[in-house]
């Protein structure tokens, strides 16, 4: 077994373990705090998952750097070497309000190259994992590239902020599609793309929202592109289009 496959197996086990911890924590009362507004919440589970994951990563890969959402990672200024990117609960609002449709996410970038990605849909117990060298998997099943359909034959997914504010004319693309979807978790949105349920996702994402899905989407031939003048930057927020190539072409004609 290659070094990468062995690491991948270890991380898959870690993801399932954090999933089980998360489900156990949901049987207790959540401690919920506001971060920047009532629309931006964090729970004790976001924080304890991040501490748990980061501690394991530090044992496993002591010289790597860690970028993570809730403040237990490193100050990372460049992508040299091995960088783990952690979102301990993606879709915290869904976690609190729906108690489903949230994910735990992790990615490994090596010298800036997307290498491994993990998205665990916790309540469905589905782990999406892999990368360019290992292929992309849903649990034990290898995924094939989704159908390359244009926007008129596709569902397109737009983040609520972009849709409501018509950022980069996203409403024009939304109107041209078969219909739209809004999931409230970047991770769940990425899983809908790689399984061919949606054809495109127009959104604004922080590093931990984008990094894992980007690894998996690119490995399956989907396009991950900025929709403004800034090049994709793994360490910053990005306005981004993730889509099968035909839908990406259609959307690029309609937006901006």
Point out the annotated binding site for Mg(2+). 69, 87, 89-90, 209
Write each residue from 181 to 200 as x if it is in contact with ligand IPD (CB under 6 A), else as -, in one continuous string: ---xxx--------------
What DSSP element (H or E) covers 33?
strand 32-37
Q: Does 87 bind Ca ion (CB under 5 A)?
A: yes
**Other C-beta atoms within 10 Å of 218: how many?**
17
Question: Are 107 and 73 within 8 A, CB to CB?
Answer: no
Question: Which residue number is nearest to ligand IPD in terms of Cβ?
Answer: 186
Of 125, 102, 117, the residue nearest 185 (C-alpha): 102
Question: Are 104 and 184 within 8 A, CB to CB?
Answer: no
**Other C-beta atoms within 10 Å of 254: how many?**
17
Binding residues among 62-91 for ligand IPD as defined by CB under 6 A: 87, 90-91
- Minimum distance between the CB of residue 184 and ligand IPD, rounded to whole angstroms? 5
Question: Which residue number is nearest to Ca ion in terms of Cβ?
Answer: 90
Binding residues among 109-168 for ligand IPD as defined by CB under 6 A: 159
Q: Does 50 bind Ca ion (CB under 5 A)?
A: no
- Minimum distance between the CB of residue 184 and Ca ion, rounded to whole angstroms? 10
Q: Which part of the chain contacts Ca ion (CB under 5 A), choosing from 60-68, 88-96, 106-114, 119-127?
A: 88-96
- Minimum distance between the CB of residue 3 and ligand IPD, rounded to whole angstroms? 30
Q: Does 69 bind Ca ion (CB under 5 A)?
A: yes
Q: Which is nearer to ligand IPD, 107 or 205 (CB)?
A: 205
Q: Which is nearer to ligand IPD, 205 or 211 (CB)?
A: 205
C-alpha pair distances (Å), 132 with each of 115, 119, 213: 7, 15, 12
With CB under 5 to 8 Å by kind, the binding choice for 43 among Ca ion, ligand IPD, none is: none
First to last CA, the chain: 46
CA dist., res. 96 & res. 100, Å (int): 9
CA dist., res. 192 & res. 55, Å (int): 30
- Minimum distance between the CB of residue 33 and Ca ion, rounded to whole angstroms? 11
Rg of the chain over Cα atoms, rounded to whole angstroms, equals: 17
Handedness of CA 174, 178, 184, 187 (dihedral sign): negative
Residues contributing to the site for Ca ion (CB under 5 A):
69, 87, 90, 209
Residues contributing to the site for ligand IPD (CB under 6 A):
87, 90-92, 159, 184-186, 205-206, 209
């Amino acid at each position: 077994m290659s070094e990468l496959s062995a690491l991948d197996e270890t991380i898959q086990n870690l993801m399932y373990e954090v999933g089980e911890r998360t489900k156990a924590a949901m049987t207790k009362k959540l401690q919920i705090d506001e971060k920047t507004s009532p629309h931006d919440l964090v729970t004790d589970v976001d924080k304890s998952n991040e501490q748990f994951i980061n501690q394991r990563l530090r044992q496993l890969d002591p010289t790597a750097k860690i970028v993570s959402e809730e403040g237990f990672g490193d100050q990372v200024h460049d992508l040299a070497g091995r960088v783990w990117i952690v979102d301990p609960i993606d879709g915290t609002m869904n976690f609190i309000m729906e108690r489903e449709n949230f994910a735990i996410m992790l990615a490994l970038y090596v010298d800036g190259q997307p290498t491994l990605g993990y998205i665990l849909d916790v309540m469905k117990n589905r782990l999406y994992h892999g990368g360019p060298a290992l292929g992309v998997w849903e649990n034990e099943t290898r995924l094939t590239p989704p159908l390359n359909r244009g926007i008129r034959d596709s569902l397109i997914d737009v983040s609520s902020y972009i849709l409501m504010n018509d950022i980069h004319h996203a409403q024009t693309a939304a109107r041209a599609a078969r219909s739209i979807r809004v999931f409230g978790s970047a991770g769940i949105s990425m899983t809908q793309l790689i399984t061919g349920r949606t054809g495109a996702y127009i959104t604004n994402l922080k590093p931990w929202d984008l990094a894992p899905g980007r690894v998996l989407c690119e490995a399956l031939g989907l396009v991950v592109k900025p929709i403004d003048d800034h090049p994709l930057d793994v360490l910053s927020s990005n306005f981004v289009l993730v889509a099968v190539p035909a839908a990406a072409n259609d959307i690029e004609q309609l937006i901006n």
